[in-house]
Structure 1
C-alpha cells in the first residue's frame, strides 16, 4: 500500500491538479485529499510559448529553447501543488511514498502505418524529486509510444479499476471532456479507449481569440448562438473521424479556420455542436451503455453535456453520480499509474492505446 500524490496539467494550461490517494496499484483505491494550483499569467505565458514552439518544431531538429524555460516554471508550480495537498491533508513530505508526475504535453503525434508516434511532455522529474524529498515517477507515456502504441489515453485502466472496485453494472462509457475528449468503454472484456475529437480545447481557443476569456463558462456564449451547419460540416469532414480505434489526437490537430468569420456566439455554438456530434458518434459506435459518466472540465458545461445527451438519446451524468471526483480524476489516475510503474505492472493495453502487448512505463527519480 502506497500513499501517493498524482499530478496533472492539462492542455487548457489553467493549472495543476494534485490528488493524494492510498493505493496498491490495483483495486484498493482510497482518495485522501486534493488541491488545485492555478498558473499565474506569467507561468501560463511561458507554457503557451513552449506549446507554440512545439507546433513549429514538429519533432524535427533540436528541441526549442522555450522548453527549458517552461520546464523550470512548470516544475516549480508542481512542487507548490504537492506541498499544498500535503498541507491540506495535515501531513509532511515524509508521510508520502511517491509522486506521479505527468508533466505538460506540448506536442503529440499519433502513429500511422508509415511511422511510430511521438509524444513530448515537459517536466523535470529529477528536479522535482530533489526539491520535494520524495521519489517521483515521471515520463509515463514514452514507453507505450516506443513500443508502437499511441501513448494515450492513459487514464483508462484507472477508470476500469474504479468500475471494478465499485462493482458497477456495465457497459459504462467514461467520457473525459478535457481539451481533447476521450472515452473509456468498460465492462465488456478488456477496456477500450480512444480520443473522440476535441472537447473544450477548440472552444477555449475560440473564446480567448474572440472575447478574451479562457473558456465558455457554463456554455453561456454557445447558448446565445446558432450552429452554422456549413462550418460544422467542414469540421466533421476531418479525416480523423474515418479512422478506427485505437486512435489519438493532439489538441492542435484541428483548426479554428472553419468558424472564423462567425460571431463569437455562433462560433461557440458550432464548436460545441462539433464536440457533441463527435462524442455521440464515438459512443454510439461502441454500443448502448448502461451509463455515460462524464469527467473533466467539460462536464461543467451544461450546454455541451445536454447536446451530447440529445444526440445520443441517453443521459450524461457527472462522475460524481457514482462518488468519483471529476476534478481530480486524472491526477488520481497518475498517482495510481505511478504505483503500477514502480511494481512493473501494465499502464496500457492493446485495446486502450494500440500497443502490441501490455506495457509498463515511467521513469523513477529518487529523492536522494
Structure 2
C-alpha cells in the first residue's frame, strides 16, 4: 500500500455520490481517521445535462446491454470531471451509479470503473462498496448509516436520533450514540422506508417536462387521494421487518394509482405516500428518537416537510439546523467509508443491511507507479 493509505492518523478523502434522483454528481472532502470526523473540506456539484439524464434513465432496472454501456460512459465521464482538480487528497471514495438493485435475486449494480478513475486521477480509489455485503447475505443498502453514527458523535448527540435521507428512495437510520462503535449491537438500525422523490420526479417529467416539483408548488395546490394512499400502504413491504432495501423502481406502480388524478392531486398524493411510508418505518425504532434530521432533496420540499411534521411524533428538522450539509452528506459518507475500507474497518453490520456478520466491502485500486 502507498503511504497515502496510512493505517492511522487523519486522512483527507474525497467522496462522490450520484443518486437515483439522477440530478448530478456530488463531491465532498472529509478529514477522518475512519472513526471520528476530524473536519470538513470543500465540496462541489456536477449536474447532469438533460441528455445525460435520459441516458441514465433508459438504463434503470437493466443489468446489461447497450443502455448499460452508455450509462457507464456517462457515469465515468461525469465523475472524472467532478473529481478532477481537488488538491491535497489522499484517496477517493467512488460509489458509481446504481442502475439495478435486487439483492436476493441478481444482486446490485453500480456502474463505473474505479480502477480507470485511479489511473486518470493518479490517486487510490475505493469503489464497489456494496457487492461484498450482498455476497454475505446483506441487502447492500443503505450504506450511509456508519457515517450517520459518526455524525451523531460529531454533533455530540446524547441519545437516540434518526437521520432520514429523502433521495430517489427514502432511507432511515436510527442511531444510538451511547454506543462506542457503529458495529456494536444496538448502535444502529437502518432500512429503506419506501419511495421518496423518484415517483414524484418521474411523473413531473412525464406530465410537465420538469425534473421535479420545485418547492412542492404543484403538490401544495392539490388534495391527497385517500383511496390511493390506502392501497399504497397495503403493500407487503411496509409490514416487513428491517433491515430491508428497495430498488428505485420497486414502487413504479404508484404512478398507476394516481394516473386519473389532476397534476396537483397526483403530486400531493405521491408526496403523502412518501411521508406515510416514513411514519410507518418510524414504528420500527427501538426508542423514540429526540429528533429526525432530514437530508437529501426532499428536505427542500416544504409540503413534504409539513406532512412529516404532522405524521411523526417527534421534532423534524433539516440537517442544516445541526450544522451539517444535507446536499453533501452522502458524498461525505463515501469519503468516510473509503477510509474505513482502506483501514480494514467494517462498513456495514447486521443492523444496517441484514448482513450475516460485520463486513467492510470495497475494492482499493491504486494508480500505476509513474
Fold-level similarity (TM above 0.5): yes
The corresponding residue for 2:249 is 252
Between the aligned partners of 2:161 and 2:313, the Cα distance in structure 1 is 15
Measured in 2, the distance between the counterparts of 1:366 and 1:204 equals 38
Contact 2:290 2:314 in 1 (8 A): no
Equivalent position SS for 1:251: coil
Q: Give 1:169 shift.
A: 2.4
In structure 2, the residue matched to 1:60 is none
Q: Deviations over 1:36-67 (max 9, x none)?
A: 10012222122122215x1xx5xxxxx21222
1:70 aligns with 2:67: no
Q: TM-score, normalised by structure 2?
A: 0.91
Q: What CA distance in whole angstroms lies between the structure 1 residues aligned with 2:233 and 2:37? A: 41
In the TM superposition, residue 110 of structure 1 has moved relative to its aligned partner by 3.8
- 2:101–2:108 CA contact under 8 A, matched in 1: yes
Q: Does 1:195 align with 2:160?
A: no
Q: Which residue of 2 aligns with 1:205?
A: 202
Output the aligned Cα RMSD: 1.3
Q: How does 1:340-359 map to 2 (within 5 A)?
A: 340-359=340-359
Look up the match of 1:42.
51
Task: Give the 4+ runs in structure 1 shifted more than 4 A.
Answer: none
Q: Alpha-carbon deviation of 1:117?
A: 6.3
The equivalent of 1:106 in structure 2 is 99
Q: Which 10-residue stretch deviates more, 204-213 or 295-304?
A: 204-213
Partner of residue 165, structure 1? 154
Determine whether 1:326 maps to 2:322: no
Q: Which residue of 1 aligns with 2:126?
A: 137
Is the CA contact 2:29–2:335 (under 8 Å) kept in the aligned structure 1? yes
On the 8 A contact 1:117/1:145 being kept in 2, the answer is no
Counterpart-to-counterpart distance in 2, 1:245 and 1:365 = 33
In the TM superposition, what is the alpha-carbon distance from 1:282 to its structure 2 partner?
1.1
List gaps (5 residues or longer) in structure 2. 1-9, 179-185
Number of aligned positions between the proteins: 348
1:81 is matched with which residue? 82
Tell me the TM-score normalised to structure 1 length. Answer: 0.92
- Return 5+ residue gaps in structure 1 as ranges: 58-62
Whether the 8 Å CA contact 1:20–1:31 is kept in 2: the answer is: yes
For 1:320 and 1:354, the matched residues in 2 are separated by: 30
Q: How does 1:1-368 map to 2 (within 5 A)?
A: 1-51=10-60, 54=62, 63-83=64-84, 86=86, 91=87, 95-111=88-104, 118-187=107-176, 189-254=186-251, 255=253, 256-286=255-285, 287-368=287-368
